[in-house]
């Protein structure tokens, strides 16, 4: 029997390797879409964050792991997964009305429960009172309303299967035995369950547009490649996300709720929660505001990144009302302004402006106004083309244009900035821009992603997919940043950093900052002067530290060089289902530097 299994596995490898070719995925629709909706639904929706009357810390879909629940006990949840109010058309219509172009649905999350009837597991929808196929019903509704279909599949973690055990996360009793007796065989799990289930999903439901893998953890590159190859073989146009591992997907992988800090250099997608959890958790009522979530969608577009917002339905299939309200809020704005999101590319200026965000499409740019610009005037510094016309996108109201050395717009009075008005600016074809960092409303904002990397004795720092620094320490060189000083005078130097929420702000971080080759700040400690209370605070909190002031006597092109003297010491918090992305302990995660005129 073992020989038969090995031969079968080798045959599968040969079959999949023969499919290993350059991606033929259809990325055109994906880039045009910019906005999708995630759905996390499973037996964890029954538990809803509680076990035996006790609230379990952490995100809801990880309750089995965090609560150290045995498979025997956990499977009892299936009888209460009634789906009595499941109405896939209402879910799809909600996404459609909000302006989402694709939906990604959890066919199997880490718990191992399949939300479709599977021939390769008895831990599936047929255990529940619901005897239909909710996946098929959702896909049918997506096709009815012209929504692209995405399938989430947890390819590495499957807590139902001992062969897929991740030993660092294991606990006694999970499989009815002590942890010491657990002997996983990951190859066998991939051969006997994961790849056969992928074949079910890719052959049983018609055209699939996105395959969304998750948590590759310790997969080898060859194992990750198998999960790519089965898609390439059976659905060659299907888009594969970055979490398949090893950069083998069609687009990159940001962390949960992670926003890039500059225009992304590659295709990326931000996945975001409306509260703290992905799966339904009844005690998590800390909902982000609808406006903040809409702003995240707009900011993603301004970075050239897709945005996928999550809903976590209850066990009966109803969607929590705050999620419905948020989607309706987004839809109201998108009904008038979607042109400024769909098919756009990132902000063509070096950074977003203090008053809001910028997107671009063809010979037009779109100015998303989160607040009134100073003196209701916008100076488009860095734009090299003449503006032909400008107006409020939602109502066509004219915006006054003054073309000169710098094009200036006069925004009309009386705009409702809670509604985030958009100014459409139509330029000569082709619209041209430079990449200098200018001052806007007394602030020169300099993203670290715009800098030149100077290697050190042990290699060179990197710019991560989130457009922050990676591997930046005292042995990996320095970062040289350019900017324009338009007004002589004294400027506050403000250094922005962020971190993963499972680590503290590092104590003892020290940096040296040379301004025009002078050591303006040498071995200065970064002290957290302020932490932003924004929509990302519970995922990637952002802080700034003021180093002091510099004085510029003359205008013109200037530079600064940033290097790290000491990384400092982080305190780590507990594990709650999210890995720290794209960084080691030996790194300071810089986002940008601001010079603020006093």
Residues 509-555: tens digit of each pLDDT: 999 999 987 788 999 999 999 999 999 998 999 999 999 999 999 99
Delimit the CATH 2.60.40.1180 region(s) of the chain.
356-435
Q: Which residues contact 40 (CB under 8 A, 6 or more apart)?
A: 61, 106, 109, 278, 279, 280, 310, 311, 312
Tokens standing for 506? 């590092």
The pLDDT tens digits of the residues spanning 297-323 come to 999 999 999 999 999 999 999 999 999
Write down the pTM of the prediction: 0.95
What are the start and end residues of each CATH 3.20.20.80 domain in the chain?
2-289+308-324
Using CA atoms, how far apart are residues 380 and 433, in angstroms rounded to an integer?
A: 10
What is the helix (H) or strand (E) element at residue 137, kind and residue range? helix 134-144
Contact by Cβ (8 Å): 157, 215: yes
Q: Which CATH code for domain 2-289+308-324?
A: 3.20.20.80
Q: Which residues touch 96 (CB under 8 Å, ≥6 apart)?
A: 145, 146, 147
pLDDT at residue 332 is higher than 50: yes
Peptide bond into 430 cis (omega under 30): yes
Mapping DSSP onto H, E and C, the string for 254-306 reads: CCCCCCCCCCCCCCCEEEECCCCCCCCCCCCCCCCCHHHHHHHHHHHHHCCCE
Confidence of residue 582 (pLDDT cuts 50, 70, 90): low
In the predicted structure, residue 215 carries a pLDDT above the cut 70: yes
Q: What residues does CATH 2.60.120.260 cover in the chain?
A: 443-597
Q: Give the whole-angstrom CA distance, residue 308 versus residue 178.
A: 39
CATH of domain 356-435: 2.60.40.1180
pLDDT digits (tens, 9 = 90+) for 113-163: 999 999 999 999 999 999 899 999 999 999 999 999 999 999 999 999 999
Tens digit of pLDDT for each residue in 100-110?
Answer: 999 999 999 99
Q: What is the CATH number of domain 443-597?
A: 2.60.120.260
Q: For 7-32, how does the pLDDT look when each residue is reduced to its tens digit (9 = 90+)?
A: 444 445 544 444 455 789 999 999 99
- Residue 286 burial by CB count (10 A; 0-12/13-18/19+): exposed, middle or buried? exposed
């Amino acid at each position: 029997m073992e020989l038969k299994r090995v031969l079968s596995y080798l045959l599968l490898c040969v079959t999949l390797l023969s499919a290993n070719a350059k991606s033929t995925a259809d990325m055109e629709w994906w880039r045009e879409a910019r906005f999708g909706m995630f759905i996390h639904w499973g037996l964890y929706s029954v538990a809803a964050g509680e076990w035996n009357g006790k609230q379990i810390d952490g995100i809801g879909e990880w309750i089995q792991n965090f609560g150290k629940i045995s498979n025997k006990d956990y499977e009892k949840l299936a009888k209460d997964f009634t789906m009595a109010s499941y109405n896939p058309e209402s879910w799809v219509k909600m996404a459609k009305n909000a302006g989402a172009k694709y939906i990604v649905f959890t066919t199997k999350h880490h718990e191992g429960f399949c939300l479709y009837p599977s021939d390769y597991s008895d831990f599936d929808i047929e255990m529940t009172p619901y005897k239909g196929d909710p996946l098929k019903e959702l896909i049918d509704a997506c096709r009815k309303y012209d929504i692209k279909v995405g399938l989430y599949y947890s390819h590495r973690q499957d807590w139902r299967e001992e062969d897929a055990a991740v030993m660092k996360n294991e606990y006694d009793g999970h499989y009815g035995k002590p942890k010491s007796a657990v002997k996983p065989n990951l190859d066998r799990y991939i051969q006997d369950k994961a790849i056969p289930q992928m074949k079910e999903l890719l052959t049983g439901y018609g055209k699939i547009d996105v395959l969304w893998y998750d948590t590759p953890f310790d997969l080898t590159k060859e194992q990750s490649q198998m999960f790519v190859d089965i898609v390439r073989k059976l659905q060659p146009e299907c888009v594969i996300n970055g979490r398949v591992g090893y950069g083998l997907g069609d687009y990159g992988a940001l962390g949960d709720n992670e926003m890039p800090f500059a225009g992304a250099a590659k295709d990326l997608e931000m996945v975001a929660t409306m509260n703290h959890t992905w799966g339904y958790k009844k005690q998590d009522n800390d909902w982000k505001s609808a406006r903040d979530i809409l702003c995240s969608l707009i900011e993603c577009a301004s970075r050239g990144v897709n945005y996928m917002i999550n809903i976590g339905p209850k066990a009966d299939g109803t969607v929590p009302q705050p999620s419905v309200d948020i989607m309706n809020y987004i839809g109201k704005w998108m009904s008038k302004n979607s042109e400024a999101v769909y098919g756009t590319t990132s902000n063509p200026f070096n950074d977003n402006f203090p008053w809001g965000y910028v997107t671009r499409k063809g010979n037009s740019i779109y100015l998303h106004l989160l607040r009134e610009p100073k003196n209701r005037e916008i100076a488009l510094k860095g734009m090299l083309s003449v503006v032909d016309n400008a107006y409020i996108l939602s109502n066509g109201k004219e915006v006054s244009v003054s073309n000169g050395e710098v094009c200036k717009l006069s925004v009309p009075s009386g705009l409702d900035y809670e509604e985030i008005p958009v100014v459409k600016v139509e330029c000569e074809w082709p619209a041209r821009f430079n990449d200098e960092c200018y001052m806007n409303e007394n602030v020169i904002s300099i993203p670290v992603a715009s800098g030149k990397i100077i290697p050190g004795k042990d290699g060179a720092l990197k710019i991560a997919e989130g457009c922050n620094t990676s591997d930046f320490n005292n042995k990996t060189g320095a970062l040289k940043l350019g900017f324009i000083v338009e007004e002589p005078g004294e400027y506050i130097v403000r250094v922005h950093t962020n971190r993963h929420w499972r680590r503290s702000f590092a104590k003892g971080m020290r940096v040296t900052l040379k301004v025009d080759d002078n050591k303006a700040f040498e071995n200065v400690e970064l002290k957290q002067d302020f932490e932003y209370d924004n929509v990302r605070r519970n995922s990637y909190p952002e802080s700034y530290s003021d180093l002091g002031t510099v004085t510029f006597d003359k205008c013109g092109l200037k530079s600064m060089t940033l290097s790290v003297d000491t990384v400092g010491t982080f305190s780590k918090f507990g594990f709650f289902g999210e890995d720290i992305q794209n960084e080691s302990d030996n790194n300071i995660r810089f986002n940008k530097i601001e010079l603020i005129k006093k």
